[in-house]
Amino acid sequence: MFFVVSGAFFMFSAALGVLRMPDFYTRLHPAGVADSLGAPFVLVGIAILNGATLFSGKIIFLILFMLITSPTACHALAKAAVYSGLKPYKSKRRKK
């Protein structure tokens, strides 16, 4: 149950981060956190609750797949944004 609750916390905080960040590049970080931490924690909790079954083995393979592909997908999205010419957000505050 601890893993499910902590995964839900990571996903909730990532959703808040996506809503609060100003541009695409800064929104990628909380989205990556949700994929890399939130979902695997929830899946580990589900695997533990199911016990040692074939379903739990499939969940473990799904977690490994997500841990490999999620950072790669975030990097590919950022690289595509750079190539398309998307400019990063610049703060309107003046530096003293």
2-58: pLDDT as tens digits:
999 999 999 999 899 889 988 888 888 888 888 888 889 999 999 998 888 898 899
52-71 average pLDDT score: 90
Work out the pLDDT band at 92, boundaries 50, 70, 90: confident
Question: For the whole model, what pTM was predicted?
Answer: 0.75
Query: Which conformational region is residue 51 in: left (phi greater than 0), alpha (psi within -120 to 50 degrees), or beta?
Result: left
Query: Which tokens sit at 90?
Result: 């610049």
Query: Which tokens sit at 22?
Result: 């100003």
